[in-house]
């Protein structure tokens, strides 16, 4: 157990020195660090295996940064929080809870979903979206009824695909994070806590 | 489902007007409000039944505000957070997570315990304390082995009693909160988020 | 493991001598012993902590001995049996099963509920009452649907509160009993076993 | 739901009239009724299918009435109670609890095992026997370790077989009883309740 | 752990020499071996206890080889596969999967049911049959609703009895097989794998 | 439900015509079909989303076709079978069971692992490998103890990474397959069924 005073390592595998990393990986890291203000630990941890680093973030990019469909950035982060809670993944719940606060401007919702998503202050549309994401998360048999419930809240077949792929990708990510013992950067805990309109920091 | 913009009601039972409440209850509420800066919703909700209000807070007081034993105020709040997470109780996790941040000056620990207590940055003593509290929480058969594990971390028989009674009391409280549909005051979400030494406002 | 021949201790904490107990506790014990014919072990066990003894029985009294509402004494005992079975609490199942036999004059029902409440010879009203009590017992999310089911069997909102509070209080009591390793007095096993009209001795 | 006043039917399948039953079945029934004082409902229910009646009781006889090995009649009934509790089978728990009281002269033990076998007043030998029976009951993978634990309490390989076969047979019987909705005869509830030496009537 | 090259023993109990077995048991074995082409290991394993051998196969015969009712031989094997999967019984899943392939002429269905019965290529009638069999398998409370669902697919009360008894009998058999550590004969793995019309050898 | 006579569709999303697919995807498909003798349905199903097709197979390639480390091709397939069984994924269990038979020349092992991996004829090394893979599969907290167990069977930290990533990737794949309702090609059911040395056709 670590005292909360000292800084935890990123995970249980060593992080290579930047000078030993392939150039494309350094480049991606610097771009992310510039945009976010710090480098999320998942980038450091995955750099232990460059080929898998590239595969992981290319896949992430293909499902998280596509522009089509009806899922907002906040919707996607909400799906990640809800499914990562089921797997009790510290990195993903804390990091994507922070991203949800940033994108949604709702400072309390991710915390509510972390405790009990069915009692969170969600719209019926969001509830339907999470219900489907969690059926995927639990590896339930998926039936036509699942699709019909989604449709009642305006989600078409392609939206269903998008929800499912995010939930499935984080089924993988949560397990990778458990394996690596990946821990969230300190910055994530406080990001976006102040309500919309109020200045943060 | 409530929009996050409007204020949620305290719970599903009506809260009486202050002027219709017995004097001792008003007095206790005012004392708490003065000390905390706002009146936690549990006080409002329980005032629906004055006799039970008195019994609930008298019991709470008997186990939470006794001075003897080795449990700090932060320890007690940590027990409450960990056991309330098992029961997915929004009010107790959010409110007592806030109190833990205040008492412990550790802004991230309650969030970590909420996601996955075994991976939180806890001391071995805290891990042993929560392990015992959660055995009580699950209504496990309690054996001598449980007491021996506690003793290895400096908790005597009377400390075990204190841990057990807090966990047992919140087994009740979590269920009352679910019944009432009790929701945390907004203030709890942000209380104590800034690390020790930094000014919070 | 104890032979069934010798008398078990009341629990794993020492019971103080009567002469060392506060007067109000002795007085309450004597009153109960007079009424019941023997002193139920919960009174002995809780006297280890006088302040908690007082809080526990005051709370018990506030919810079990109120006269209003539609729950009969037998109803209340049935709720306690059903919820204590879920937590596998020897003291509460045996003691409150006995009290149910006494109040209901039904010698077999508590035994049936102990094995499988859904197959017990219960009225639809009793089934609805237990269904709600067990939702509380499991710390389920409680929804309007739960209240509507109760209403179809004549239980109003205040009755729902009464059922919930008994179930929640015994969520606490069962865990305290497990912690103390509290065991039923021998008398409870045979109390009220003879059917109504037949003499018991 | 049945009122407890009227007599419940034996189960959900019709019981043939004695005059329509094959002679060997009538003969067996009369023998049992003479010995027990009443005809346990399982005999009535199974007579719906004479070939299966014969197979069921022949099998029961082969494992319950063999004289060799170290299991006493009370041991066998204890195994049946413990495994039938897991399957929440009203008939088997109530009927074999009664038989255990009769054979063991211990009026409280079956009730204790019904609530929580690990907290019952059992000898270490009985605990080991039930632990093994319940591993069979849950269809666990059985390993050499299971046999070694039994051996430490004096149970050889042939005793293990006897325990396993009783547990396995009642895995079947409990499910048959659930299917038939078989209910215990009223007599079972009170049989053997008075402690050894006291007269029962 | 055994290498797959060497032949595993039949189970963990010794199999008597044929010359030491009672004549009726030898006779039954020879009849089965002649019919099947090899002697399934369950016959060898049960011969350790001749009285139980006779009881087991007499019972099996009474429920599996009756001619009345609507269950085909393939239906019965499908029930056995589905319920044995729940108990993770290697012998019963592999052996009865083979028998199902033989009787149904469907080489893939048993494998599908082994992985996920709800996603297998089953008719609605077969789904209803397995749903009921698995309710028995889990020792669920059986209600009138269960019977009505069966009736909607053409299964009467006597068919329900047949399904239930097969499921209940294999609740026993699966547990006996786990106890004995019974393993399938090699022949079962490949029996009936070739689709109908193609020659198998 | 589909009759087993007619051919099932690949899944619930439409498969584009080859002429509408991007060239690189067609090229990869033709290469696979040439090598395997038929085109596994996962390739058809994923072509619905070309960008995700590329990401999925690039990732698959990065973890399945790397040459370093101690995992044989058969080991990797065994991990996939064992983890896909937990998620009850028809496509992955059947397809990768077939691949395991091909690579391992062991015609029965995948079937054994499908029913009950702990009772399969596995070496201790294989048991340790699957135990770790299943801890990842269940999203367990991974501790140093897990790594030490692996080391006792010759698996280093980089092998642990390989096992974990395969298990995590199939946590995703199983869920994608459930979402798509992906079904195995008929060819997979019989591939590699004949033991080593015997001709298969």
Cβ pairs A/C, distance under 8 A: 3
Chains that touch F (3 or more CB pairs under 8 A): A, B, D, E
Based on DSSP, count helices (H) and strands (E) in chain A, helices before strands. 10, 0
Cβ within 8 Å, pair C13-B66: no
Asked if residue D102 has pLDDT above 50, the reply is yes
Considering only CB atoms, which chain C residues are within 8 Å of D3? 121, 123
What distance in Å separates the CA atoms of residue F72 and residue F58, rounded to the nearest whole number?
20
User: Is A141 near chain E, with CB under 8 Å?
Assistant: yes
pLDDT of residue D199: 45
Digit-coded pLDDT (tens) for D70-91? 999 999 999 999 999 999 999 9
Nearest CA in chain E to F127: E1
User: Is C141 near chain A, with CB under 8 Å?
Assistant: yes
pLDDT of residue C108: 97
Considering only CB atoms, which chain C residues are within 8 Å of D193? 189-190, 193
For testing the chain E interface, which of D139, D155, D159, D181 should be mutated: the one with the most E CBs within 10 Å?
D139
Asked if residue C197 has pLDDT above 70, the reply is no
Q: Which two tokens stand for residue E102?
A: 């033989």
User: Is D116 near chain B, with CB under 8 Å?
Assistant: yes
Q: Please compute the mean of the pLDDT values over residues D147-169 and round it to a whole number.
A: 98
Asked if residue A183 has pLDDT above 70, the reply is yes
Share of chain C above pLDDT 90, in %: 90
Residue pair E160/E79 in contact by the 8 Å Cβ criterion: no
Q: Please compute the mean of the pLDDT values over residues F146-171 and round it to a whole number.
A: 98
Digit-coded pLDDT (tens) for C93-107? 999 999 999 999 999
Chain E: closest CA distance from residue A144 (Å): 13
Considering only CB atoms, which chain C residues are within 8 Å of E141? 116, 118-119
Asked if residue A22 has pLDDT above 50, the reply is yes
Chain F: closest CA distance from residue D165 (Å): 21
Cβ pairs B/D, distance under 8 A: 3
Chains B vs E: touching, with 3+ CB pairs under 8 Å?
no
What distance in Å separates the CA atoms of residue E61 and residue E166, rounded to the nearest whole number?
11
DSSP H or E segment with residue F41: helix F41-46
Burial of D173 (0-12, 13-18, 19+ CB in 10 A): buried
pLDDT of residue F1: 46
Residues 6+ apart with CB under 8 A from A106: A74, A100, A196, B4
DSSP H or E segment with residue B102: helix B90-104
Q: Which of D8, D190, D194 shows the shortest C-beta gap to C121? A: D8
User: Which of F58-77 are b and which e, b meaning 16 or more Cβ less than 10 Å from the residue's Cβ?
Assistant: ebbebbbeeeebebeebbbb
Residues 6+ apart with CB under 8 A from B147: B157, B160
User: Is F119 near chain D, with CB under 8 Å?
Assistant: yes
Nearest CA in chain B to D119: B141
pLDDT of residue A98: 98
Digit-coded pLDDT (tens) for C115-166? 999 999 999 999 999 999 999 999 999 999 999 999 999 999 999 999 999 9
Phi/psi of residue F195, nearest 5 degrees: -65, 160
pLDDT of residue C6: 53
User: Is D110 near chain C, with CB under 8 Å?
Assistant: no
Chain A: closest CA distance from residue C141 (Å): 8
Q: Which of D4, D88, D116 shows the shortest C-beta gap to C109? A: D4
Q: What spatial distance separates the first Cα and last Cα of chain A, rounded to whole Å? A: 30
Share of chain C above pLDDT 70, in %: 93
Q: Where are the beta strands (DSSP E) in chain D?
A: none
Residues E160, E163, E168, E169: is their CA dihedral positive or negative?
Answer: positive
Chain A: closest CA distance from residue B19 (Å): 31
Cβ within 8 Å, pair D189-C90: no
Considering only CB atoms, which chain C residues are within 8 Å of D80? none
pLDDT of residue D195: 59
Summary mean pLDDT of chain E:
93
Q: Which of D56, D136, D174 shows the shortest C-beta gap to E139? A: D174
Asked if residue E52 has pLDDT above 60, the reply is yes
pLDDT of residue B120: 98
User: Is A144 near chain E, with CB under 8 Å?
Assistant: no
Considering only CB atoms, which chain F residues are within 8 Å of A48? 161
Neighbours of D156 (CB within 10 A): 13
Considering only CB atoms, which chain B residues are within 8 Å of F139? none
Chain A: closest CA distance from residue C118 (Å): 27
3-class SS at C40?
coil
Residues 6+ apart with CB under 8 A from F112: E90, E94, F119, F120, F121
Write the secondary structure of chain E as one string of H (helix), E (strand) and C (coil): CCCCCCCCCCCCCCCCCHHHCCHHHHHHHHHHHHHHCCCCHHHHHHCCCHHHHHHHHHHHHHHHCCCCCCCCHHHHHHHHHHHHHHCCCHHHHHHHHHHHHHHHCCCCHHHHHHHHHHHCCCCHHHHHHHHHHHHHHCCCCCCHHHHHHHHCCCCCHHHHHHHHHHHHHHHHHHHHHHHHCCCCCCHHHHCCCCCCCCCCC
Cβ within 8 Å, pair B121-A8: yes
Asked if residue A6 has pLDDT above 80, the reply is no
Chain D: closest CA distance from residue E13 (Å): 9
Among F121, F100, F114, residue whose Cα is nearest residue F192: F100
Asked if residue A5 has pLDDT above 60, the reply is no
Chains that touch E (3 or more CB pairs under 8 A): A, C, D, F
Cβ within 8 Å, pair C88-D115: yes
pLDDT of residue D68: 84
What distance in Å separates the CA atoms of residue C129 and residue D165, rounded to the nearest whole number?
40
Nearest CA in chain C to E142: C119
Lowest mean pLDDT among A180-184, B7-11, F94-98: B7-11
Considering only CB atoms, which chain C residues are within 8 Å of A119? 141
Neighbours of E94 (CB within 10 A): 25
Chains C vs B: touching, with 3+ CB pairs under 8 Å?
yes
Q: Please compute the mean of the pLDDT values over residues F91-102 and round it to a whole number.
A: 98
Digit-coded pLDDT (tens) for A100-115? 999 999 999 999 999 9
pTM given for the model? 0.95
Digit-coded pLDDT (tens) for C166-195? 999 999 999 999 999 999 999 999 999 975
Give residue F201's pLDDT band: very low, low, confident or very high (50, 70, 90). Answer: very low
pLDDT of residue C68: 84
Helix, strand, coil abundance in chain D, percent, nearest 5? 65, 0, 35
Q: Please compute the mean of the pLDDT values over residues A33-44 and round it to a whole number.
A: 96
Nearest CA in chain C to A119: C141
pLDDT of residue A199: 45
Residues shown for chain E: 201
Cβ within 8 Å, pair D171-E172: yes
Lowest mean pLDDT among C4-8, F6-10, F66-70, F147-151: C4-8
Summary mean pLDDT of chain D:
93
Residue pair E121/E105 in contact by the 8 Å Cβ criterion: no
pLDDT of residue F199: 45
User: Is A141 near chain C, with CB under 8 Å?
Assistant: no
Considering only CB atoms, which chain E residues are within 8 Å of C118? 141
pLDDT of residue F114: 98
What distance in Å separates the CA atoms of residue F153 and residue A177, rounded to the nearest whole number?
24
Share of chain F above pLDDT 70, in %: 93
pLDDT of residue A163: 98
User: Is B25 near chain A, with CB under 8 Å?
Assistant: no
Asked if residue D145 has pLDDT above 90, the reply is yes
pLDDT of residue C1: 45
Q: Which residue has the higher pLDDT, B3 or E7?
A: E7
Digit-coded pLDDT (tens) for F24-60? 999 999 999 999 999 999 999 999 999 999 999 999 9
Cβ within 8 Å, pair F142-A52: no
User: Is E141 near chain C, with CB under 8 Å?
Assistant: yes
Q: Complex ipTM, two decimals?
A: 0.94
Chains that touch C (3 or more CB pairs under 8 A): A, B, D, E
Residue pair E3/F121 in contact by the 8 Å Cβ criterion: yes
What distance in Å separates the CA atoms of residue F187 and residue F105, rounded to the nearest whole number?
17
Residue pair A190/B193 in contact by the 8 Å Cβ criterion: yes
Mean pLDDT for each 10-residue chunk of chain B (201 residues)? 61 94 97 96 97 98 92 98 98 98 97 98 98 98 98 98 98 98 96 65 41
Chain A: closest CA distance from residue C103 (Å): 39
Cβ within 8 Å, pair F119-E90: yes
User: Is E116 near chain A, with CB under 8 Å?
Assistant: yes
Residue pair B189/A107 in contact by the 8 Å Cβ criterion: yes
Give residue D7's pLDDT band: very low, low, confident or very high (50, 70, 90). Answer: low
pLDDT of residue B201: 41
Chain A: closest CA distance from residue C144 (Å): 13
Domains within chain B, CATH numbers bracketed: 70-189 (1.20.1290.10)
């Amino acid at each position: 157990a670590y005292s909360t005073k000292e800084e935890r390592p990123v995970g249980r595998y060593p992080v290579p020195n930047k000078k030993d990393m392939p150039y494309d990986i350094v480049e991606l890291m610097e771009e992310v660090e510039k945009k976010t203000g710090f480098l999320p630990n998942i980038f450091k941890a995955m750099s232990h295996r460059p080929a898998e680093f590239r595969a992981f973030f290319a896949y992430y990019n293909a499902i998280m940064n596509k522009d089509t469909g009806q899922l907002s950035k906040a919707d996607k982060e909400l799906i990640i929080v809800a499914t990562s809670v089921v797997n009790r993944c510290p990195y993903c719940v804390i990091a994507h809870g922070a991203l949800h606060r940033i994108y949604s401007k709702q400072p309390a919702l991710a915390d509510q979903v972390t405790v009990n998503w069915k009692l969170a202050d969600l719209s019926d549309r969001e509830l339907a979206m999470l219900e489907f994401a969690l059926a995927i998360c639990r590896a339930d048999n998926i039936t036509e009824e699942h699709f019909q419930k989604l449709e009642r809240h305006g989600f078409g077949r392609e939206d269903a695909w998008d929800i499912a792929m995010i939930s499935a990708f984080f089924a993988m990510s949560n397990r990778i994070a458990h394996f690596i013992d990946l821990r969230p950067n300190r910055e994530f805990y406080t990001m976006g806590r102040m309500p919309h309109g109020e200045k943060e920091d």
